[in-house]
Amino acid sequence: FISLFLFPMFFISGTFYPLERYPEIVQQLAWVLPLPPFIHIMRNLTEGNLSITMLWAALYMFLLFIVTYWIAVKQMRRRLIK
């Protein structure tokens, strides 16, 4: 899990380099991952920039949280019932 998902996520999510340096297709694929919205928010907060894109990034992270929480609860209930 770590070497298959987390390491590539760090490299293409804009953690070390801004996403603008990557090709367009990599930028679009990176925004599907959960880390780029967080990095976008933190980078803009440290630079003192406030924009509407930060709100969209926060809403996307909240949506990911709700979906993954729902999946986890569903799986846990299924395991506990068996």
The string of pLDDT tens digits covering residues 20-69 is 899 999 889 888 888 999 999 999 999 998 999 999 999 999 999 999 99
pTM of the model: 0.78
pLDDT at residue 73 above 90? Answer: yes
Query: What DSSP letter does each residue of 37-72 carry, written as one string?
Result: HHHHHHHHHHHT---HHHHHHHHHHHHHHHHHHHHH
